């Protein structure tokens, strides 16, 4: 039970780290469809985002990382307003462990809610 409380606090810390110092707006918590960790890194499948239904890419996503209490928590969020001309589709987006600052084999949690792919 105590470990669950620490994970919740870590996820809250990640969320707060995404809030800009000026303006104090609440960050958008993005629902993701799948998460896969393999020997090369972490891959998420993200749904289309924004009013234009843009295909998610590394360019329009960011990852916040919290290492509070020795636990690694990742939170994927949209980066700025999504703008696109053509209707997109869900896509897989990959980050290496090195890019995330996580050692291969090190445990981590995802703070994003998961939804069944459509």
- Give residue limits of the domains in the chain: 2-110
Positive/negative CA dihedral, 14, 16, 20, 25: positive
Residue 82: partners with Cβ closer than 8 Å, 6 or more residues away: 49, 50, 51, 52, 54, 60
Window from 2-11, 45-54, 89-98 with minimum mean pLDDT: 2-11
pTM of the full structure = 0.69
| pLDDT more than 70, % of the chain | 64
22 compared with 93, residue with greater pLDDT: 93
Positive/negative CA dihedral, 40, 45, 46, 48: positive
């Amino acid at each position: 039970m105590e470990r669950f409380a620490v994970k919740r606090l870590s996820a809250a810390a990640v969320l707060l780290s995404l809030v800009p110092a000026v303006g104090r707006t609440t960050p958008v918590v993005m629902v993701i469809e799948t998460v896969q960790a393999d020997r090369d890194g972490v891959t998420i499948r993200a749904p289309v985002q924004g009013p234009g239904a843009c295909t998610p890419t590394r360019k329009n996503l960011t990852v916040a990382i919290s290492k509070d209490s020795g636990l690694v928590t990742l939170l994927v969020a949209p980066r700025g307003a999504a703008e696109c001309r053509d209707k997109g589709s869900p896509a897989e987006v990959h980050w290496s462990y090195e890019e995330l600052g996580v050692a291969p084999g090190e445990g981590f949690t995802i703070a994003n809610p998961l939804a069944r792919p459509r």
